[in-house]
Amino acid sequence: MGAVADGLTSQQSAFERIYQAPPDHWSFHDTNDPPTRYLRDRRIKIALRHLERVVGPLDRSWSVLVTCGGVGGEGTLLANLGFSRVTVSDFSEEALRVCSRRDPRLSTLQLNAEHMDVPDEAYDLVLVQDGLHHLPRPPLGLTEMLRVARRAVIVIEPYDGLVGRLLGTRWERHSGSVNYVFRWTDSMLAQVTRSYLLQRPCYVKGLRIWDHNVLIGRVVRRFGSRGGVLAARAVYGLLALALPRLGNMMVGVVAKDVSG
């Protein structure tokens, strides 16, 4: 436990420094530029659409917890989509201060994603995007999400495939702190989920998609605001059609008390 605790302390200190950046550093989350918004929001929208196909229309009064939520970009998107009870959690106090200033609609809660100090099934939906791979024990983070979620879990993380292994970052460095980039598969998602939920009925699916927003963003902005969105859709559509088994990102969806 000593090494894990030391690693968490080091990472927390590093992120506290990172989140002290000037306010305009986080303007990405609030931009009205259509291509940027499309690329930024695409993965969560894919997850929500898939979840709705499984459980039906989502009640916007559902309580939602975003774990490893940083300054609240995902929370803002969910609020913009009509969810009225969104809480952003992170282990960084500074991130949550920025989040509250950015978007007063969001509640904040300081939590360790591997050991969340909230009751079982406290939130209807629990979501993470690019957060579990920062943890020293990513499957434990997913187990905590499953515990805290009443109805559903969404996990958006790197996929453990050929593209990720060849081109993806293996070690991330943040202001002096280092973490390993843990990559998932649909099988891994299913095994962790069923190990925790046992024989409780559930639907679990890991969707494999392409996601190279930085690179594609540089290309499609040449087409302007409206054309950039169409170009981005076309690029991702072609990648999904031509190379569906090589996607580098997993969009995982778990619905509790649903057979599947």
Give the domain extent around 16: 2-256
Residue 29 and residue 31: Cα distance in Å, rounded?
6
158-173: average pLDDT: 88
| 140-163 pLDDT tens trace | 999 999 999 999 999 999 999 988
* DSSP of 65-110: EETT-TTSHHHHHHHHTT-SEEEEEES-HHHHHHHHHH-TTSEEEE
Confidence band (pLDDT; 50, 70, 90) for 3?
A: low
66-70: average pLDDT: 97
pLDDT recorded at residue 249: 96
- Return the SS3 of 249: strand
CATH of the domain at 27: 3.40.50.150
User: How remote is the C-alpha of 47 from its chain's centroid?
Assistant: 10
pLDDT recorded at residue 21: 83
Distance set, CA 146 to CA 83, 91, 151, 207, 244 (Å):
20, 19, 9, 18, 28
CB atoms closer than 10 angstroms to residue 220: 23
First to last CA, the chain: 37
Confidence band (pLDDT; 50, 70, 90) for 88?
A: very high
| 38-55 pLDDT tens trace | 999 999 999 999 999 999
Count of domains observed in the chain = 1
In DSSP terms, 155 is beta-bridged to 128, 252
Q: For 17-21, 33-37, 59-63, which range has the lowest pLDDT when averaged over its residues?
A: 17-21
pLDDT recorded at residue 12: 77
80-101: average pLDDT: 96
- Helix pair 213-220, 224-242: axis angle to 10 deg: 130
Q: What is the mean pLDDT of the chain?
A: 92
- Looking at the chain, the whole-number percentage of residues with pLDDT higher than 90 is 74
215-222: average pLDDT: 88
User: How remote is the C-alpha of 44 from its chain's centroid?
Assistant: 8
177-202: average pLDDT: 94
Confidence band (pLDDT; 50, 70, 90) for 73?
A: very high
pTM for the whole structure = 0.94
- How, if at all, do strands 85-90 and 123-129 pair? unpaired
What residues have CB less than 8 Å from 140, skipping those under 6 apart? 114
Confidence band (pLDDT; 50, 70, 90) for 2?
A: low
pLDDT recorded at residue 7: 62
221-238: average pLDDT: 91
